Each structure stands twice: as structure tokens, then as C-alpha cells.
């Protein structure tokens, strides 16, 4: 019996592979606020000097403030300067926002040479929540190199892009 899908030359790309594997750590400025409302520069600087930033070793870190307070921009910058030597990367945002940023970063880092002039199927179903942003990003990355881009499963695809035939 012939497996037509296997013989079709289609390359399946599963975006779930690029989903962040490790958790996201949060650095919440709320714990540095005086009376939960005000950031005092001198106290903040002193607290940062005493804080153990090694807990962020090789982690993706999101800097956020869960309190309803006005935080000056330099406070985020200062926290970043302490976190960066330990973290894989530092972002602004809550866990969901940072996870999305890491996911998109992983997608745009895909080596496209393996998809050059290939018929690529972007897997459409899976276990993880893949956002519209991820599908937009992969389409932009593959369009210049792929022969064609499809969405779905190899046995049932929706055509997205087909490189025009050269004359």
C-alpha cells in the first residue's frame, strides 16, 4: 500500500516545538513599593542590592507591577540591569505576555534554509494555545523561501501561498 502523504514531499512544521519549554519567572515591583503605592528611589536601590537575582539563572523573566501604582521608567530599567546578567532574556509583562514574546522570538529564529523551495504544511491542531501572531510570523518567515505554504494536516490542507512559476 502506498502512503501518498509520505511520498508527497510535504514538510510539516509544528509550531508547538517552538513554544517555551521552561516557565516564566516574574519580577514584581509591587514588593518594593512603600505602603503598596510609592516607589522610593533610595529604598528601591538598597533593596535591589540585597536581592538574590541568581534565582533567575537561565530563565525568561517578565518585569511587572501587580499593584495599581505609577512606576517611573527608570525603575524597570534598573531592575533589568540587575536581572540581565542571570536571565536568558528579560521582558516587560505578565506571564502570558512574556510567554507569547518568547514564543514569537523562537519562531523568528527558525533557520529558513531547511524550507527553501519546499512545500510546507503548518500544523493546525495541537495541545498548546498557538496565537494568531505565531501563524502570521511563520507565514512572513517562510513566504520568501518556501515553494508553497499550507495550513492544517498533510491529509487535509488549506492553501496559503504558492510561489509563482518562473517564465
pLDDT band at 121 (very low <50, low <70, confident <90, very high): very high
Question: Phi/psi of residue 125, each to 5°?
Answer: -120, 145
- pTM value? 0.79
115 and 82 in a single domain? The answer is no
pLDDT in tens, 38-81: 999 999 999 999 999 999 999 999 999 999 999 999 999 999 99
Structurally, the chain folds into a number of domains equal to 2
Residues facing 139 on adjacent strands: none
d(CA 163, CA 145): 9
pLDDT in tens, 90-111: 999 999 999 999 999 999 999 9
48 and 89 in a single domain? The answer is yes
126 and 158 in a single domain? The answer is yes
Amino acid at each position: 500500500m502506498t502512503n501518498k502523504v509520505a511520498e508527497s514531499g510535504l514538510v510539516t512544521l509544528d509550531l508547538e516545538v517552538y513554544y517555551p519549554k521552561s516557565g516564566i519567572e516574574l519580577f514584581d515591583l509591587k514588593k518594593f513599593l512603600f505602603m503598596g503605592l510609592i516607589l522610593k528611589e533610595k529604598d528601591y536601590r538598597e533593596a535591589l542590592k540585597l536581592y538574590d537575582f541568581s534565582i533567575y539563572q537561565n530563565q525568561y523573566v517578565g518585569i511587572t507591577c501587580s499593584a495599581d501604582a505609577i512606576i517611573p521608567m527608570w525603575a524597570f530599567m534598573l531592575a533589568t540591569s540587575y536581572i540581565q546578567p542571570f536571565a536568558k532574556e528579560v521582558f516587560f509583562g505578565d506571564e502570558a505576555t512574556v510567554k507569547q514574546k518568547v514564543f514569537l522570538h523562537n519562531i523568528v529564529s527558525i533557520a529558513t534554509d531547511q524550507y527553501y523551495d519546499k512545500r510546507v504544511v503548518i500544523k493546525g491542531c495541537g495541545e498548546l494555545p498557538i496565537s494568531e501572531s505565531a501563524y502570521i510570523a511563520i507565514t512572513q518567515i517562510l513566504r520568501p523561501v518556501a515553494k508553497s505554504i499550507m495550513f492544517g494536516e498533510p491529509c487535509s490542507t488549506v492553501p496559503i501561498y504558492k510561489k509563482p512559476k518562473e517564465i
